[in-house]
């Protein structure tokens, strides 16, 4: 019998966005090959995470995804849903609010800023660095900061089996992005949360913080988003301009509903400047990074492929983002908000 370390990871009840929590359970097994059914439901003190009162503090952790933990010997990361003591989904459990569809693919572009003492890496203690321009996809000590952290996080995620498809330095100094892909909304969102967890754990070693605020530095600096690329089977295999137009009109109708779950303080980022659309208007366009939804050139060539929703903020909950996109594409919308084609 060997001792395996399982890091149970879950989302707490803090608002406006949940935080990540985790604790380790040691289980003795002859072997472990990733079978979720062999992992027990575990309890935690919900009164310490804004998820229960002190006199009824027990909440439950239900394992829903497990991946190897490359930073530990005999270790695994276990993404969990939070349940009430009676086994029903907790009110903070956004993952349990929608049905999954493995034919619906999601790709999250997670932007973030590495900071020390509230300043992005590379920023001087007083004033600002050179204006943005040379930092995007840059190389060199004068143009990018934090590459060692980013590369370590990249390797750790890939070793864990999380499907990161790329990384790059972003427009602001100290700002980076990675792309996380998944077939099925829940798989993609699970992996995005686990990749965030690993990013926090890597940066602990360096004494650096991860900032997910959508506008960490005011002024003439880009904010941070979590652009969401999505497609269903019909978009990829059948397509047609008429079908894509119908989808885009559905998004126009539900614009306010999307914004409501796309991250707090997103109004500071969605200003119509710095490669964003205005938070008050829905728009779309081919190859338009100033639109709410960008239609990639590759999609518009034969009207097959995916769309990119550029509105989600970097701090948005991917479960809520994916759930809202699924709901809209499937035809359940909110108040009418006329689309503006760009």
**pLDDT of res. 15:** 96
**pLDDT of res. 334:** 41
Q: Where in the chain is the domain with CATH 3.30.590.10?
A: 105-341
Look up the CATH architecture of domain 105-341: 2-Layer Sandwich (3.30)
Where is 100: in which H helix or E strand? none
pLDDT at 338 over 70: no
Q: Where in the chain is the domain with CATH 3.10.20.70?
A: 2-97
Express each pLDDT in 222-267 by its tens digit: 999 999 999 999 999 999 999 999 999 999 999 999 999 999 999 9
> How many angstroms separate the Cα of 302 from the Cα of each of 20, 239, 242, 283, 293?
41, 8, 12, 21, 18
Dist. CA 23–CA 102, nearest whole Å = 29
Give the pLDDT mean for 117-123: 96
Residue 232 CB contacts under 8 Å (≥ 6 apart), including other chains: 101, 103, 104, 105, 329
For residue 336, name the pLDDT band (cuts at 50, 70, 90): very low
Helices and strands counted in the chain (H then E): 7, 15
Dist. CA 314–CA 266, nearest whole Å = 9
For residue 179, count CB atoms less than 10 angstroms from its CB and return exposed for 0-12, middle for 13-18, buried for 19 or more: middle
Please check whether the domain covering 2-97 is classified as CATH 3.40.50.300. Answer: no
**pLDDT of res. 341:** 52
DSSP string, 26-71: EEEES---S-GGGSPPEEEEGGGTTSSBTTB-EEEEEEEEEEE-TT
């Amino acid at each position: 019998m060997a001792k395996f370390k399982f890091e149970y990871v879950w989302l707490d009840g803090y608002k406006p966005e949940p935080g990540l929590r985790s604790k380790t359970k040691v289980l003795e097994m002859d072997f472990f090959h990733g079978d979720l059914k062999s992992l027990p439901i575990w309890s935690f003190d919900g009164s310490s995470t804004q998820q229960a009162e002190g006199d009824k503090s027990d909440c439950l952790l239900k394992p829903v995804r497990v991946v190897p933990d490359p930073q530990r010997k005999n270790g695994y990361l276990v993404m969990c849903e939070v349940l009430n003591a009676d086994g029903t989904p907790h009110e903070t459990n956004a993952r349990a609010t929608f049905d999954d569809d493995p034919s619906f693919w999601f790709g999250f572009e997670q932007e973030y800023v590495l900071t020390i003492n509230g300043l992005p890496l590379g920023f001087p203690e007083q004033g600002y660095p050179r204006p943005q321009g040379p930092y995007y996809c840059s190389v060199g000590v004068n143009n990018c900061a934090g590459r060692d952290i980013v590369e370590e996080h990249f390797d750790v995620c890939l070793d864990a089996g999380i499907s990161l498809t790329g990384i790059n330095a972003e427009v602001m100094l100290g700002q980076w992005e990675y792309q996380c892909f998944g077939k099925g909304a829940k798989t993609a969102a699970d992996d995005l949360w686990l990749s965030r967890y690993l990013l926090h754990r890597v940066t602990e070693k360096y004494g650096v913080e991860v900032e997910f605020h959508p506008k960490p530095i005011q002024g003439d600096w880009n904010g941070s988003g979590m652009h969401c690329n999505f497609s269903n089977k019909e978009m990829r295999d059948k397509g047609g301009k008429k079908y894509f137009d119908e989808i885009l009109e559905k998004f126009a109708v539900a614009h306010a509903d999307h914004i409501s779950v796309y991250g707090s303080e997103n109004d500071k980022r969605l200003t119509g400047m710095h490669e964003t659309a205005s938070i008050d208007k829905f728009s779309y366009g081919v190859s338009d990074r100033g639109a709410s939804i960008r239609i990639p050139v590759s999609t518009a060539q034969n009207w097959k492929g995916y769309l990119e929703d550029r509105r989600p903020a970097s701090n948005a909950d991917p479960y809520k983002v994916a759930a809202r996109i699924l709901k809209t594409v499937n035809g359940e919308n909110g108040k009418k908000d006329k689309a503006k084609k760009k």
